Structure 1
Amino acid sequence: MPSTPPHPLDPLTAAELEVGRAVLVAEGLVSETTRFPQVLPEEPPKGSSPGSADRRIRFTTLDTSTGLAGDAVVSVTKRALVSWQNCGDGQPAYLFEEYDLASEITKSSEAWLAAMTRRGLADRVEHAFCAPLAPGYFGREDEKGRVIRSLTFLREDASDSPWAHPVEGLIVHIDLTTREVLRVEDEGDVPVPSEHGRYGDVPARTTLKPIEITQPQGPSFTVDGSEVRWEGWRLRVGFNAREGLTLHEISFQDRPVLHRASVPEMVVPYGDTSPSRFWISYFDAGEYLLGKNTNDLRLGCDCLGVIHYFPAFVADDHGHAVEIPRAICLHEEDDGILWKHTDLDQRAEVRRSRRLVLSSISTVGNYDYGFFWYLYLDGTVEFEAKATGIVFAGAGTPGERRPHATELAPGLFAPVHQHLFCARLDMTVDGDRNSLHEIDVAGVPTGDDNPYGNAFTWHSTPLRTEHEAMRTADPARARVWEIRSSDKTNRLGIPTAYQLVPRPSATLLAQPDSSVHKRATFATRHLWATPYRHDERYPAGERPGAHPGGAGLPEWTAGNRALTDTDLVLWHVFGLTHVPRPEDWPVMPVDRAGFSLRPYGFCDRNPALDLPSGDTDHCDH
């Protein structure tokens, strides 16, 4: 392993992971029952000198015999243990091996088998799938420590999709440390839906003609290690086991825009009151690790065109390195017209848009999530989350109408739920000193200021403290949030800025006295803002699993710190509120959510005027 990696923000390498683990072994911190729920790069604080940065790894360890967890920071540069401490409230992310363990414990339970027998399903247990599901937090006396719940789904054979055959009302509560069933709930006798959920063997249509995406001269981007350069953009590509894809040191035309951009958390709360689902509120990053569940991407399916792949290395449950060979896809794609005008003499000028795409896809149980960052030729940054996969369903009486679930197939009901993402945007608009403003448009009342009734204007409201910056989007006012430089102005004397443009979406719909509201308070606002702190990384706190709530953004912002002329971090919540439909079955077409960051006075004029003409051999004259 090189003594100094190319850059301190580069993702972890296999060699570094193995060196870090070896340090823990030498320190006596690894035994036969030690597992590693989470292993992440310990990124250097903002402003550190690249030449002097110490490459560090944070290992979260779990003793599976006792349930005790700790955090160890290791310097792989110095091959030394930096710190060690026991974990506080909340549980570390689940291990992959705990998924199988939960199934083994369930299937060896006499109470579970008795419930299956009572329902006439004893002859179908061989291929039953016992899903390992985070239980949330309800303060129950027997749910302390490392607890998981399991719902049962049937399969006709090992290749069958289990999600089509839920055994409604059968809930198994498991202690993973003692490896025992705490209790089994057996509620009701709803028949198991019989219609299969297979979707991969449908005969393909023959009417679509091929579309070829070629770049005979190669792509316009260049890659040097983790650094990417493209059409005035420069950035570094990162990755970790929790967040997955991260972007660093993003600049446009050699001017800083973002120091770091990521999606560090998402919560999936369900709105069903049934015993099988009222407790469901998965934190897919904090409880399951989005990065560790990243797909190995496929050319022609996940990505099209001339592709550059970035590999990623994550630690398995035993702390050893595992490679995801094609974890991140980089490519260019056409994006329609960027600008056009036809003059009075019918002479037309048109330029086509193009965007640089950085993407990764994670599969967490039944759902698949695509994470797409787009960089545009006009200086815009856009993020899009694409949700697909299989909706989580239960069983009911065919034809029944329910207030919290819709029928997708005969007797198969999918509950209403949300997918709420939180982006962390460490802004550096022309430097580290920025201020935040809310921009609303508004009509002007008819009168002296609006004699004809047609006038409207805009209002700029400074958001000077953390409490003032707890905001919700308002499409009726075309609301955006503007991040202004405190030090630079454009040629018109106006502070250079970027605007965060939200897409309309609901925030958390659970009631304030609910458990999920306490744990996912970050999802109750579209916008939060904080002054930069290196240790404020996750909006629901370090360990949202089995946590009573209050960690992360509500804790940090309680002090109501000042935001003017400071190093700003924005936390933007966006997502999907899903009332499932028959078209979502048996596999869901992509649903999209996201936001954009667009320059506003950052450039003195349209930065894409110099694009080559669209008058090429591809145009029809």
Structure 2
Amino acid sequence: MSTTIIKVNHPLEPLNTAEITIATHTIKKEKNLSESFRFVSVSLYEPSKERVLQFKEGDPIEREAFMTLIDNKEEKSYEAIVSISREKVLKWEHIPDVQPGIMADEFLQCEQVVKNNPEMQAAFRKRGIEDIDLIMADPWSAGNFGIEEEKGKRIARTICWLKTDRFDNGYARPISGLHAFVDLNKMEVIKVVDHDVIPLPPNDGKYTTDGVEKLRDDIKPLDIIQPEGPSFTTNGHEIDWQKWKIRFGFNPREGLVLHTVSYNDDGVERPVLYRASLSEMVVPYGDPGDPVNRNNAFDVGEYGIGMLANPLTLGCDCLGEIQYFDAHLTDSKGNPATIQNAICLHEEDYGILWKHTDFRTEKVDVRRSRRLALSSISTVGNYEYGFFWYFYQDGNVEFEVKLTGILHTKAVLPGEKSPYGNLLAPQLDGPNHQHFFNMRLDMMVDGVQNSVVEVNTESEKSGPHNPFGNAFIAKSHTLKNEQEAMRNMNLESARYWKIINPNKKNWVGEPVGYKIMSGENAYPYAHKDSSLMKRAGFINHHLWVTPYDEKEKYAAGDYPNQHEGGDGLPKWVQQNRNIDNDDIVVWYTMGHHHITRPEDWPVMPTAYMGFMLRPVGFFKQNPSIDVPPSQPKHCDPSSCS
């Protein structure tokens, strides 16, 4: 084949289209793959941490691709590693008894199979639906509930809605009481579940400009202008901004990934993170009725957040002086597929960075905060998730998820109200649910040898040393092993966790560190012996800590789709390995508890949740003290300075 390899400047650069083409062509040829094979994912096979940290500009770079494939005919799944540099298959392994994630073209084929099925068509007509083209059939993962007839099959559940026209919001009219199971290998309906006929809700859910009677006319333009351009520079997928140096990547499963994040402190590049990513997420629903009772979507492992990324548009998703990056993936046949503008990079004003007014001299010092935003947005069926990494001038790193889109809905009878949700509109119910996200943080605070310290605040007992009963102290405890590090938040003790380097001391003699500043969080309400808790055991705890193992990347295991459970973090920590003064990975779980409301309909205003990594003794003083003052734009000329 004649494909020009585009040279890359770093071992962690994501695969480009030329490299993907070589990798998929190589394995098709060497393994003589038939048309029944599908490429579930193709991504960079990341070199070892040791190799990356020792890499110097100009060193030779060996490029390899990691692949997951499935043979629909033989119903077998495979993993492969292909050397792009040598055009050779290095690994080809059958992985028994697993189901890889559901692919985009399977979504579309599954919907058509359901709409073409005679039994489903009869059920639609029974409900007075004649125009099959207006039906939406959303494939949901099947989970694993120990049902014998489902074992060993690659299954999707399809839940149906009806549009009134092509551009209508179909989620306004759920076809409740009817759903189907599809064998994705054979692409055929294997089971139809047809309960009582429930009337369609009467109101539409239009939310576009065509569906709004009158738009607001009192909004004046707000422009973000940087006449000299942005303050960041890029070299491939490496960003230099202020004192930050950030490398990032993108892959089909995790989407946006951070690599080798460091802060320049007085001319010294001080590492903070080696790798950070969304390792898994799960969305459990709280309605016991069929089929909502099986809604437990693992959107990372079952679908692929990267595969579902949006092409972003200037002026809508991001504002200001923007640099976009494309994401290079594959379709299920192994052909390169590019999501244009999948990643957005820009700067934002973020209010006051710091301020003080000396009332004696009337001198005012204030600095505006600016942050760097690196983001992507994915659409998973009805929901949108925005994933935003923010970097601040004072050394803070923040991760934020922005949740929006359209709620999952079901129809209820006139006058009926479910105790497991709330009415969004007449006869339209929004079931209560939760969103749990697990972040894998491969920490590197001033080096790879780190520890985790838990800090709890306690009130001091009354006595001569505390005569007014006001004293409280923060007590620190270093977590020594994996079992000890299975921890949860505690508001009563203002609990937080610090990642420290015990081998590096700051100028007051304390270990340098960063702490996790928690944002919104929640606990799961599913029973401990439920299918959800067996498969998503990572949501049992807000904090987990493991020693670094390059094979341990996903909190629910490598193949959560239809897995019976017990894999991932709950399994790994049974080894109870040392995590003190070691190369460690911190896993942080955060949950959004969503009790639905009419204001979430017809499209949900964005909900925000996340956490922050904040320096604690990492710097000897406020690192943003050198940020220059902003020039005033509007003031009395005699008082401007």
**Normalised by the shorter chain, which TM-score bucket?**
over 0.9
Q: Which residue of 2 aligns with 1:590?
A: 606
Q: Which residue of 1 aligns with 2:416?
A: 400
Q: Which residue of 2 aligns with 1:263?
A: 278
> 1:354 touches 1:376 (CA, 8 Å); kept in 2?
yes
Give the match's secondary structure for 1:567: strand
Deviations 1:441-495 (A, max 9, x none): 1211212442210111111111111111111112332221001112211111111
Give the TM-score normalised by structure 1.
0.98
Q: Given the alignment, which residue of 140, 145, 150 partners 2:158?
A: 150
Q: Which residue of 2 aligns with 1:19?
A: 22
Question: Aligned partners of 1:547, 1:425: CA distance in 2, in Å?
Answer: 25
Q: Does 1:128 align with 2:144?
A: no
Deviations 1:148-204 (A, max 9, x none): 111111111222221111011112111122333222111222111121111112242
Deviations 1:179-237 (A, max 9, x none): 33222111222111121111112242110111111111111111111110111100112
Q: Does 1:76 align with 2:84?
A: yes
Question: Aligned partners of 1:177, 1:421: CA distance in 2, in Å?
Answer: 29
Aligned-partner residue type, residue 290 of structure 2: P
Q: Given the alignment, which residue of 344, 369, 381 partners 1:329?
A: 344
> 1:237 touches 1:246 (CA, 8 Å); kept in 2?
yes
Matches within 5 A, 1:196-211: 196-200=204-208, 201=210, 202=212, 203-211=214-222
Question: Aligned partners of 1:448, 1:57: CA distance in 2, in Å?
Answer: 67
Question: Aligned partners of 1:414, 1:93: CA distance in 2, in Å?
Answer: 27
Question: Aligned partners of 1:443, 1:158: CA distance in 2, in Å?
Answer: 62
Q: Which residue of 1 aligns with 2:632?
A: 616
Give the TM-score normalised by structure 2.
0.95
Q: Does 1:97 align with 2:105?
A: yes
> 1:151 touches 1:171 (CA, 8 Å); kept in 2?
yes
Q: Given the alignment, which residue of 47, 50, 70 partners 1:47?
A: 50
Q: Which residue of 2 aligns with 1:165?
A: 173
Question: Aligned partners of 2:456, 2:61: CA distance in 1, in Å?
Answer: 43
Deviations 1:532-568 (A, max 9, x none): 1111111111110000001111111110111010011
Deviations 1:577-603 (A, max 9, x none): 111110110000000110000000000
Matches within 5 A, 1:237-386: 237-253=248-264, 254-343=269-358, 344-386=360-402
Q: Which residue of 2 aligns with 1:453?
A: 469
How much is the aligned-residue C-alpha RMSD, in angstroms?
Answer: 1.4
Give the match's secondary structure for 2:293: coil
> 1:473 touches 1:504 (CA, 8 Å); kept in 2?
no
Q: Given the alignment, which residue of 101, 110, 126 partners 1:118?
A: 126
Structure 2: state its 5+ residue gaps: none
Q: Which residue of 2 aligns with 1:505?
A: 521
Give the match's secondary structure for 1:421: strand
Give the match's secondary structure for 1:192: coil
Question: Aligned partners of 1:325, 1:124: CA distance in 2, in Å?
Answer: 35
Give the match's secondary structure for 2:133: coil
> 1:38 touches 1:92 (CA, 8 Å); kept in 2?
no
Cα deviation for residue 332 of structure 1 reads 0.6
Aligned-partner residue type, residue 45 of structure 2: E
Q: Given the alignment, which residue of 56, 67, 75 partners 1:67?
A: 75
Give the match's secondary structure for 2:159: strand
Structure 1: state its 5+ residue gaps: none
Deviations 1:234-262 (A, max 9, x none): 01121111111111100012100000111
Question: Aligned partners of 2:324, 2:184: CA distance in 1, in Å?
Answer: 37
Question: Aligned partners of 2:457, 2:69: CA distance in 1, in Å?
Answer: 51
Question: Aligned partners of 1:399, 1:54: CA distance in 2, in Å?
Answer: 65
Question: Aligned partners of 1:511, 1:520: CA distance in 2, in Å?
Answer: 12
Question: Aligned partners of 1:89, 1:112: CA distance in 2, in Å?
Answer: 30
Q: Which residue of 2 aligns with 1:57?
A: 65
> 2:520 touches 2:592 (CA, 8 Å); kept in 1?
no
Q: Which residue of 1 aligns with 2:442?
A: 426
Give the match's secondary structure for 1:311: strand
Change (3 A) 1:98 1:446: same
Question: Aligned partners of 1:442, 1:72: CA distance in 2, in Å?
Answer: 53
Change (3 A) 1:23 1:189: same
Q: Does 1:5 align with 2:43?
A: no
Q: Which residue of 2 aligns with 1:234?
A: 245
Deviations 1:284-328 (A, max 9, x none): 111111001111111110000001111110111111111112111
Q: Which residue of 2 aligns with 1:490?
A: 506
Deviations 1:401-435 (A, max 9, x none): 32211100100001011111111110000000111
Q: Which residue of 1 aligns with 2:592?
A: 576
Cα deviation for residue 3 of structure 1 reads 7.2
Question: Aligned partners of 1:172, 1:559: CA distance in 2, in Å?
Answer: 41
Question: Aligned partners of 2:44, 2:280: CA distance in 1, in Å?
Answer: 17
Cα deviation for residue 29 of structure 1 reads 4.2
Question: Aligned partners of 2:392, 2:634: CA distance in 1, in Å?
Answer: 22
Aligned-partner residue type, residue 243 of structure 1: E
Question: Aligned partners of 2:128, 2:458: CA distance in 1, in Å?
Answer: 64
Q: Given the alignment, which residue of 554, 561, 575 partners 2:577?
A: 561
Give the match's secondary structure for 1:191: coil
Question: Aligned partners of 1:550, 1:29: CA distance in 2, in Å?
Answer: 35
Question: Aligned partners of 1:475, 1:252: CA distance in 2, in Å?
Answer: 31
Question: Aligned partners of 2:616, 2:535: CA distance in 1, in Å?
Answer: 35
> 2:6 touches 2:18 (CA, 8 Å); kept in 1?
no
Matches within 5 A, 1:214-233: 214-233=225-244
Aligned-partner residue type, residue 292 of structure 1: M
> 1:575 touches 1:594 (CA, 8 Å); kept in 2?
no
Give the match's secondary structure for 1:174: strand
Question: Aligned partners of 1:618, 1:537: CA distance in 2, in Å?
Answer: 51
Give the match's secondary structure for 1:569: strand
> 1:12 touches 1:312 (CA, 8 Å); kept in 2?
no
Cα deviation for residue 88 of structure 1 reads 3.4
> 1:130 touches 1:152 (CA, 8 Å); kept in 2?
yes
Q: Given the alignment, which residue of 186, 192, 196 partners 1:184?
A: 192
Q: Given the alignment, which residue of 128, 140, 145 partners 1:138?
A: 145
Aligned-partner residue type, residue 256 of structure 2: L
The answer to which of 56-65 and 608-617 deviates more is: 608-617
Q: Report % sequence identity.
A: 45
Q: Which residue of 2 aligns with 1:409?
A: 425
> 1:249 touches 1:256 (CA, 8 Å); kept in 2?
yes
Question: Aligned partners of 1:399, 1:336: CA distance in 2, in Å?
Answer: 48
Count of aligned positions: 620
Cα deviation for residue 362 of structure 1 reads 0.5
Matches within 5 A, 1:444-483: 444-483=460-499
Cα deviation for residue 619 of structure 1 reads 5.7
Question: Aligned partners of 1:176, 1:481: CA distance in 2, in Å?
Answer: 44
> 1:392 touches 1:415 (CA, 8 Å); kept in 2?
yes
> 2:486 touches 2:543 (CA, 8 Å); kept in 1?
yes
Change (3 A) 1:126 1:325: closer
> 2:5 touches 2:19 (CA, 8 Å); kept in 1?
no
Cα deviation for residue 53 of structure 1 reads 4.6
Question: Aligned partners of 1:52, 1:518: CA distance in 2, in Å?
Answer: 44
